[in-house]
Amino acid sequence: MKLLKCLLALACAGASLATSSAASAADTATLRFGLEAQYPPFESKGPNGELRGLDIDVGNAVCAAAHMTCKWVETSFDGLIPALQGRKFDAINSAMNATEQRRQAIDFTTVVYRVPSQLIARSDSGLQPTPESLKGKRIGVLQGSIQETFAKVHWEPAGVIVLPYQDQNQVYADLTAGRLDGTLVLAPAGQTGFLSKPEGKGYAFVGQPVRDDKILGSGIAYGIRKGDTALRDQLNAAIAKVQADGTVKTLAAKYLGNIDVSAK
Residues 6+ apart with CB under 8 A from 261: 113, 114, 115, 248, 249, 252
**pLDDT for the residue 213:** 83
CB-based burial label for 126 (10 Å; 0-12, 13-18, 19+) = exposed
Among left, alpha and beta (phi > 0; psi -120 to 50; other), residue 144 is left
Strand 223-224: give its sheet, edge to edge: 68-74, 29-35, 91-92, 223-224, 107-108
Distance, in Å, from the CA atom of 257 to the CA atom of 252, rounded to the nearest integer, reads 7
Confidence (pTM):
0.70
Q: What is the predicted pLDDT for the residue at 258?
A: 76
Contact partners, residue 229, CB within 8 Å, separation at least 6: none
Q: Which CATH architecture has domain 117-216?
A: 3-Layer(aba) Sandwich (3.40)
pLDDT the model gives residue 113: 95
- The pLDDT assigned to 2 comes to 43
- Cα end-to-end distance, the chain, whole Å: 67
Q: Which of 65, 43, 61 has the alpha carbon at shortest distance from 52?
A: 43
Q: What are phi and psi of 234, to 5 degrees?
A: -65, -45
* CATH superfamily, region 28-114+218-256: Periplasmic binding protein-like II (3.40.190.10)
Residue 238 main-chain phi, psi, to 5 deg: -70, -40
Q: How would you label 50-68 residue by residue, b for 16+ Cβ within 10 Å and e otherwise?
A: ebbbbbbbbbbbbbebbeb
Q: What pLDDT shows up at residue 259?
A: 78
What was the pLDDT predicted at 7?
43
Q: What is the pLDDT along the chain (264 residues), one digit of tens a residue?
A: 444 444 444 444 444 444 433 333 334 599 999 999 999 999 999 999 999 999 999 999 999 999 999 999 999 999 999 999 999 999 999 999 999 999 999 999 999 999 889 999 999 999 999 999 999 999 999 999 999 999 999 999 999 999 999 999 999 999 999 999 999 999 988 998 999 999 999 999 999 999 898 899 889 999 999 999 999 999 999 999 999 999 999 999 999 887 778 876
Task: List Cα–Cα distances, 96 to 168, 219, 245, 255, in angstroms.
Answer: 14, 8, 23, 17
Where do the domains of the chain lie?
28-114+218-256, 117-216
Q: Fold identical between 28-114+218-256 and 117-216?
A: yes
